[in-house]
Chains A and B, each alone.
Chain A
Amino acid sequence: MALAVLVIVAVVAWVVISPLRPARAGAAEAADTAALEELEAEKAAKYREIRDAELDYRTGKLDEADWRAIDRELRAEAVLILRRIDALGAPVPDPAPDG
């Protein structure tokens, strides 16, 4: 019984402490990656909106004029996002997953 407890504690300790051993400098890149991920998420959401608008048009809820207007608006917004992504520089490659 005591042995089983010891084994479990040892496993837990290993799992929890192992990321801490070789100290990695994580703070500096965090800010940049966060901003980039955020913009990527906004871009994905914007693309989704563009596709949704087209589906709305093709299923007859919008007439062509209205759709073109909305599509233009959305694509302009997407362009802005892409510009901001470019402004951040080359995308930072993802470090090896740490679990």
Chain B
Amino acid sequence: MDPARKRRVRLVVALTTALLLAGALVYTSVSASTEARSPSQLLASAAPGRSYQVTGKVVDGSIRQRGAETLFRVRDRNGSASIPVAYTGAVPDPFANGREVIVQVHKSGNGFVGERDTLVTKCPSKFTAKN
């Protein structure tokens, strides 16, 4: 095979491999991903047993301790629709009323159960657009 042809063959092989890998990447990511929802979206439609990643703010005054469980409500960032969440385990330091949180939950009965180690609280931003 002359060098030009060899180079072209290599290029085709490389591109095909790259495309296959990219395809595999997309496939695994879609199948391994969780839907991101807001509390109001979850209230509207949440299939029991499926995991969702909910983003919202902790409702003021809603944090309660029940044994090892932390109970709180999460509301829309700009809204009041809220869902109850029961989370077991250590809770991150910045977790408090009014903080923005991200947590993976699944529906259980009328409430939602937070999955372990998925509660992320955003570092409180000292800076908002107006400040």
Q: Do chains A and B touch in the complex (CB under 8 A)?
A: no
The interface of chain A, by Cβ under 8 A from chain B, is none
